[in-house]
Amino acid sequence: MRKLELHWKILIGMVFGLIFGFIMLQIDGGKEFSSDWIKPWGTIFVKLLKLIAIPLILASLIKGISDLKDISKFKTIGIR
């Protein structure tokens, strides 16, 4: 069996998420279930992404500055 490529897996997950959301809107208590049980996991996921992104940006800035051989290039970087 051939493995699915990542972009297809993401697309399938998005479609299933949309279908699940529409089904939950139609079921009695579906909104409450989603907001009580699923929303906290989404919030945690987004906060973890932010937690990872900030150190990566800082590390890339530090690495870029440390790789500069000529200090006079700081002026051109600062102007941008």
Tokens, residue 71? 């200090």
73 pLDDT above the threshold of 80 = no
Stretch 50-67: mean pLDDT: 90
CA distance 59 to 52: 11
The amino acid present at 12, given as its one-letter code, is: I
Cβ neighbourhood burial of 34 (10 Å; 0-12, 13-18, 19+): middle
Tokens, residue 23? 């089904």
pLDDT of 5-51, one tens digit each? 999 999 999 999 999 999 999 999 888 888 888 889 999 999 999 99
